[in-house]
Every structure is written in C-alpha cells, then in structure tokens.
Structure 1
Amino acid sequence: MTTRTRGTRARALALAAGVLAGAVLVTGCSEERDAVLKWPGAESNPQAVTADQFGAAWPLKPDKGKVACNTTPYSGFAITFQAPDGKVYALNNVAHDEKGYPSVDEIKGTSGKMWRLRSFGMQICSLEHARNMRSTPPATPPRTPTPPPTTTP
C-alpha cells in the first residue's frame, strides 16, 4: 500500500467518523431541545399527562398517567403519579415517606428526566396553593385592648 493510498484512506475514515459524530451530536441536541421546549401547562389537580407532551424528557415506562398534588399536615405537598393501571407512585419524598406510596423509580424508563415530571408536579402544587389562598378569608388582625379610662380624684 502506498503512502498516498494510506493518506486517502485515513482522510476518508476521519471524514466518516466526523459525519457519524456530527449525526450523533445533532440527534442528542435535538432530543435535549425537545426536552426543554415540550412542557405542558399546569391547569388542574390532578392533571392527565402523556409522553408526547414531554417529548424526550418523559421518564417513565407507562406513556401516560395523572400527576397530582396533595397537602400534608406537616411537610407541605405530596406529589404523585397515577399510572394507567390505577397504581399511585410517589414523585417526591413527602408522598413516599408520609403517605406511603411506592417510589416512581419502580416504573422509571431508560431515558428521560425525572426532575421534569417532579417540577411539573410542583407547578400543580403552586396552582393548588394559589387556589387555596384565594378561597381562604384574610386573617383579621388581633384587636388591641383599649386601656381603661383614668379618673382623677
């Protein structure tokens, strides 16, 4: 094999490797962009969600379910995911530790971003909190007692 043939072959291999690496990067970037751009708006509690709404960020094996937020007396909000089979999973520690739901990691897929689904759950909690604040009457400030009248002898 001549030096010229080796050089041509090396350039061809380098070009092929570059094209392949570029294709992998573009695919990865488009999935990341998809994960950033696809995000449903929080509208109700619970709220139905689908894998299509989250795109490449969808982290679970079931392709749909419901995300809910429930208040707890001590720790704030329990965020849960209800799978199509009706089983409820904890999306945060409050739902797991206080409510006793199994971890959503039991149905985690091979890709996706679990934090995206948890963040969406927090949006639902914010929505729920805002609704509760509107329905709670404002607290009235405590009345300051008036001192008794003073009498002069």
Structure 2
Amino acid sequence: MNTKTFNYKEKFSIWIFTPAAVFIAVAIYAFIEKVSFSYRGNMVLDYPISYYVPGILGVLFIAYGFYKFIKASKSKQNQKPISLGETSMSFPKGSSDTVLLNYSTINELWVKDDKDDGESIILYSEDSKNRFEFFAENFDSDSKYIDFKTYLEKVCTNITNRE
C-alpha cells in the first residue's frame, strides 16, 4: 500500500488585527472630535452614527481575528498529517476530528489562485454536499503542496468539472 503523508498546519499572523485597530482608532477619533463623515458633499455618517459604525466594525474584526487565532491553535495541537492512500484520503479537522474521504465520492476538484489567499485546492464530495479547501501556504513547503496537488489530480477520477 502506497501512502503519502503531508503536514498541514494553519498559520496565524498578528497583522490580522490591523483592520480592527484602524476602525477602533476611527471610532475613537469620531467620538472625541464629534466628526461626521461626508463624501462629495453628501452626508454619509452623521455624528453619533459616525463612531458607532467604525466601532462595531472594529469589534467584528477583533472577533474574526480571535476566531482565526483559535482555529490556528487547534490546527497546531492536532498532530495528525494528511494521509493519501490508494482509494481514500484522511485529514484532520479541528483539534481531534479526522475526516475520511474516498476518492470515488469526490466529484469536483478546483485549483483556485487568489491574489489575497494564494493558491488552494478545493474538493467537493458527495454531489457538492461537502467542501474542503487546502491552502498552499499551510503545507511545509511548495514542493509538498505540488506533490499533494498532482497526486489528487491523478487519483480523483470521478471529476465532473474537468475539461
């Protein structure tokens, strides 16, 4: 049996909190200076709302940052690698769960190249009920990601979105 394993750990950067800091700073400035925001002479946000909206956006970005931090921490705690076998693959989900996916149930395989997120592989299984995305930056190296991608493209034969 030929099994390939790949380490996959989500990464976290403190820079994810930058938008939150900017919105909180705008909210504090609007509160202290009693500022209203206008665009080309049209009032967009009047005084009390001018610090509510950036403040709420700042809190939402902080919550998103903590969500990403917790998700990356759970990924680092899980020591299980992605395993690609002859007929199925298994990969960790969260801190303790493992997903087992047969290649025959994968019906779509996409290689997405996004300028913000980088390249990733998206798998849809069981007639698009389940969606799994694997980002290139979360693998140990680019060569490991390329091995992962080429292996999946080779063994997934039930793909409907191939040209």
**Pairwise same-fold verdict (TM > 0.5):** no
Of structures 1 and 2, the one with the larger relative CO (CA 8 A, separation 6+) is 2
TM-score normalized with structure 2 length: 0.31
Higher helix share: 1
